[in-house]
Amino acid sequence: MDNFAFIIHPVNPKRDVQRKFPLLGKLLPEPTIDFLSRYFPPVYISHITGIVSQATGKEIEGWFIACPFTPKQMVSLPPETVYKKVIATGKLAQKLGAKILGLGGFTSVVGDGGLTISQHLDIPVTTGDSYTVGTAVEGTLKAAQQMGINPAHATAAVVGATGSIGRVCAQLLGKRVAEIVLIGRNLEALRQVQSLIEAQGQSQVQISTDMQSLQRADLVLTVTNAVHTIIEPQHLKSGAVVCDVARPRDVSRRVIEERDDVLVIEGGMVKVPGQVNFNFDFGFPPGMAFACMAETITLALEGYNKSYTLGKDITLGQVQTMFNMATRHGFKVSGFRSFERAITNESINKIKQNVLQKQTQLNWINP
């Protein structure tokens, strides 16, 4: 059987440790968890069952396994130390019988994007980034439709546009919007992405290193590798749609607390075909998964016996092929969530009403 395994890791140490070890997570302070996790071995989390392809009827199973490092540790520890722990986690996947391994969270971005890790394992590896790109863009456009935004007349912004995911997201969004603003830290790298999108000839392209540039954007797709939040309430235009693909999040919780006139959604959430049981609560509704998980599952359903998305270069062709493959097996971009809560049609309508009220108030102030 073409079984799979997917690596997860703690993002919020106390909360995430409690999900597997309730008493330990409750009693230990976060600094202690951070310290001890350097010495924890890889952790078996759960057995995943009930996934069935709509195209072939093939049923597979898999496992969640955890690398104990937090994002902060993965960016601060020597790369060799992180590689060693992630490779050990991958070897646990092999022992369980997995035929393909998905790298979740920061395990997919540390170092060279999975290339070194794959070289030390006997099974194929994927970061899941191809399907993450496809679902992030589709989710953003679906949310725009719900908010009454016509992408063809809209300005979009991609934060983290020079990264492997951000660059391809920018290329895809650039085909659908009137103007796109690329935001990052390195102007020269931004110019390279700008050239790629201008070559498509379908939208105006601007570049910026200033987060205040987001105030122009109707649609925001953010996908950085930042350890801390970078998008705050003052950065956003009234009525904007913000799709946060990053883990940890790029968008501050203050945005949903203070800005009732913007729609913030989590990127890359999909419905898995079949009656899937993950046997572990990672904060999603039943049957839903991150797109990076879904790419790993799709490859297992396909019986694909090679690594798929690795390294820092993702092509539009990879993204389209993976999206079509996942769609064929029955995966669907489905529903919106924000900070682990479902976004209902009623809540979207309320946001739209708040936008109108703010516009009316501004018209009164500035007739």
Over residues 290-318, the mean pLDDT reads 94
Q: How far is CA 103 from CA 89, 170, 179, 247, in A?
A: 10, 23, 33, 13
pLDDT digits (tens, 9 = 90+) for 196-253: 999 988 889 999 999 999 999 999 999 998 888 999 999 999 999 999 988 778 999 9
CATH number for the domain that contains residue 164 = 3.40.50.720
Q: How far is CA 301 from CA 56, 125, 286, 317, 326, in A?
A: 9, 15, 20, 20, 9
33 has pLDDT over 90: no
Write out the residue range of the structural domain in which residue 221 sits. Answer: 132-268+355-362
Q: What is the rounded CA–CA span in Å between residue 115 and residue 107?
A: 11
Q: Could you tell me if 154 and 239 lie in one domain? A: yes
Return the higher-pLDDT residue of 269 and 130: 130
pLDDT digits (tens, 9 = 90+) for 267-294: 767 999 999 999 998 878 889 998 999 9
pLDDT digits (tens, 9 = 90+) for 320-332: 999 999 999 999 9
Q: What is the rounded CA–CA span in Å between residue 242 and residue 359?
A: 19
Indicate whether 340 belongs to any domain.
Answer: no
Q: Could you tell me if 33 and 106 lie in one domain? A: yes
168 has pLDDT over 80: yes
Indicate whether 177 belongs to any domain.
Answer: yes
Indicate whether 344 belongs to any domain.
Answer: no
pLDDT at residue number 158 = 98
Q: What is the rounded CA–CA span in Å between residue 266 and residue 175?
A: 22
pLDDT at residue number 326 = 98
Cis peptide before 285 (omega within 30 of 0): no
Q: Could you tell me if 258 and 308 lie in one domain? A: no
Q: Could you tell me if 124 and 183 lie in one domain? A: no
Q: Could you tell me if 106 and 140 lie in one domain? A: no
3-state helix, strand, coil in the chain (%, to 5): 45, 20, 35
Over residues 300-318, the mean pLDDT reads 93
Q: What DSSP line would sit under 301-327, residue for residue?
A: HHT--S--S-SS---HHHHHHHHHHHH
Number of domains comprising the chain: 2
